[in-house]
Amino acid sequence: MLQLAVLRSNPQEVKQRLAVRNFKEPELVDAIISLDDERKKLTFQFDETKAKINAASKQIGGLMAKGNKEEAEEKKKEVEGFKNTLGPVEEALAKAEKELNELLVRLPNLPSSKVPKGTSPDDNEVVRTGGGKPQLYSGAVPHWELAKKYDLIDFELGNKITGSGFPVYKGKGAKLQRSLIQCFLDYNTSAGYTEYMPPFMVNEASAYGTGQLPDKEGQMYHVTEDNLYLIPTAEVPVTNIYRDEILKAAELPVRMTAYTPCFRREAGSYGKDVRGLNRLHQFDKVEIVQLVHPDKSYDTLEEMVTHVEKLLQTLGLHYRILRLCGGDMGFTSALTYDFEVWSAAQERWLEVSSVSNFESYQTNRMKIRFKDENNKTQLVHSLNGSSLALPRILACLLENNQDENGIKLPVVLQSYFGSEMI
């Protein structure tokens, strides 16, 4: 959630930056400022009336002690009048604060000056590419056929047990999945990230804190009986570990990593893009999250991009890094880099990671703060990234490394899997 001080300091600049996102309701900025003025006026009235009540109440005690009962009774009537005035003011103030919050959460994060203009994925900027593009042998097939041939993943069984988008990994497929998870976690912890194993469901406050509510409730699975949400990513529970906390400057940066399954309804998805592992309702992912000093968040973003890039290099995959344009960015992000890996058998790019700087947008919602060197309380900046999402990584590893004899695994995975080949 954007800070009111940011909106009030330069509303015109806020509107210009929101225009980079193609935001359709710039008038919300003026409505928020107007409502905030009303809230301030009501707050002043409330505080002033409370002060009058307190002052008069003290006078009553003094008058009673002196035996001036008549004057004391008059003061009591005066206090009663103030209290009658206070009720409607308090009610109007609560209403203004509620409406103000409802308007604020409709505003997306302000894009960084580095965000390119654009309306669709076609306008994203390719920052760089890496890794050699694989040349497949003549009998190469897509991963869903390889999964069947080597008995690694059973899509039909998943459909029987749950439904489409819930595959069953089995045998060497399950072992390879587990090997990837452990490899990614070891890579992250060796870089200074602390591993967590969080819950896979969160409450409303946690989903609100990272921006899934009220923006993406239609994409989450909702356990209605207990009003809990299955997590769409480990970012949600992990970032909320520090909700309502005040850190010391010396404790920054906070680096966290976690493996979790992720649950997404993916409403409206259909067609060739959802075949096999391309788009699932349940998938595994290893996430990295950082909470950092505001002055260092963009350096940290580049550091996290390099971290994910090196992991892709160890897997020997052909990849590219995109800087997302304003029209393709997530609601809460200030700047996002997407990583895509080349699927040789499908001859297309598949997204495998997003690394984003949210600046203070999430931490303002969650009230994650720190005391700076002057003992002043400030909001930290939050960042997160996939390191990595498994389904499409697995798809590309199977497709890009196949030959007549089987599937050759990258060297980094061989010790985890216990073999060089499937």
The residue length of the chain stands at: 422
Of the candidates 248, 255, 145, the residue with the CA atom closest to the CA atom of residue 192: 255
* Known binding positions for L-serine: 233, 264, 287, 384
Helix (H, G, I), strand (E, B), or coil: what is residue 109?
coil
Closest CA to 259 of 305, 196, 173: 196
Q: Which long-range contacts does 95-100 make (Cβ < 8 Å, 24+ apart)?
A: 96/35, 96/38, 96/39, 96/42, 97/39, 99/35, 100/32, 100/35, 100/36, 100/39
Inter-residue contact 399 to 350 (CB < 8 Å): no
* Contact yes or no for 210/236 (Cβ under 8 A): yes
Handedness of CA 166, 172, 174, 180 (dihedral sign): negative
Residues making up the binding site for ATP:
264-266, 351-354
3 state DSSP class of 409: coil
Residues 305, 148: Cα–Cα separation, whole Å: 34
The packing angle between helices 297-314 and 172-190, to 10°, is 140
Any residues with CB less than 8 A from the CB of 310 and at least 6 apart, and which? none
- Which is nearest to 330 in space by CA: 368, 279, 291, 384? 384
Question: Do 18 and 26 contact (CB within 8 A), yes or no?
Answer: yes
For residue 344, what are its two tokens?
């040789």
Q: Which residues are known binding-site members?
A: 233, 264-266, 287, 351-354, 384
CB neighbours of 202 closer than 8 A, spacing ≥ 6? 228, 229, 231, 236, 237, 240
**In this structure, is the dihedral angle defined by the CA atoms of residues 346, 352, 357 and 363, taken in order, positive or negative?**
positive
